Chains A and B, each alone.
Chain A
Amino acid sequence: SQTIHQWPATLVQPVGSPLSLECTVEGTSNPNLYWYRQAAGRGLQLLFYSVGIGQISSEVPQNLSASRPQDRQFILSSKKLLLSDSGFYLCAWSLRRGAEAFFGQGTRLTVV
């Protein structure tokens, strides 16, 4: 069966520090991978998606970047965090565009 792992679960980082969140998927090949952010009182916002290794598309301009160094690994990064980067970050995968999506357990990021 397929599983998705996301870590860390919680993170408190000072403004200006770097960020690296990791997501890995097991039990499937060549998944579509997604990073979402869920801000307090707001819905889920798609940040990045990837349809293959090294292929990253950004949905919104932001202070973050994403990379996919391996087929089932998706990394969300920042060189210098802003207060506005605080939120709940969720990784997800699906077999193809429009297919059923499966989410990780999320990372609660607080920038102080």
Chain B
Amino acid sequence: KQEVTQIPAALSVPEGENLVLNCSFTDSAIYNLQWFRQDPGKGLTSLLLIQSSQREQTSGRLNASLDKSSGRSTLYIAASQPGDSATYLCAVPLSGYGQNFVFGPGTRLSVLP
């Protein structure tokens, strides 16, 4: 059974810091891994999708890495800004014939001005 965990649960940093969010999954047989951002009371915004054959993906100040063998992914945010404050979720598609995405519990990030 796929389980996804995220560390830390919450993070508060001053503006300008570089930071790393961690995601771990128990079943390495994944198609891909997706990082989302969720603002309070809002839906999920897709940030990055890493295919199982890739090791990293970059979008602006965001960089996500994937190490399937160790069951880990990291989301690196460079030069953090107050607008980055949100909850960050990672998700992997359920293996086999299921349609579900298994989500981590999220990391709540606060970037202080």
Could you tell me which A residues sit within 8 Å of B by CB distance?
Answer: 6, 32, 34, 43-44, 46, 49, 51, 57, 59, 88, 90, 92, 97-106, 108
Contact = CB atoms under 8 A, between A and B. Distances in A.
A99 B31 CA distance: 8
B104 A43 contact: yes
Contact of A102 (B46, B93, B97): B46
B87 to A, nearest CB: 11
B100 interface: yes
Nearest to A50: B99
B103 A90 contact: no
Nearest to B99: A49
Interface stretch (B13-21, B34-42, B64-72, B74-82): B34-42
9 contacts: A6-B43, A43-B106, A46-B100, A57-B99, A100-B32, A101-B34, A106-B41, A106-B42, A108-B41
A22 B106 CA distance: 26
Given A43-B103, A46-B100, A105 B31 contact: no
Nearest to B48: A100
Nearest to A49: B99
B54 interface: no
Residue from A44, A90, A92, A106 whose CB has the most chain B CB atoms within 10 Å: A44
Interface string B78-109: 00000000000101010001011101111000
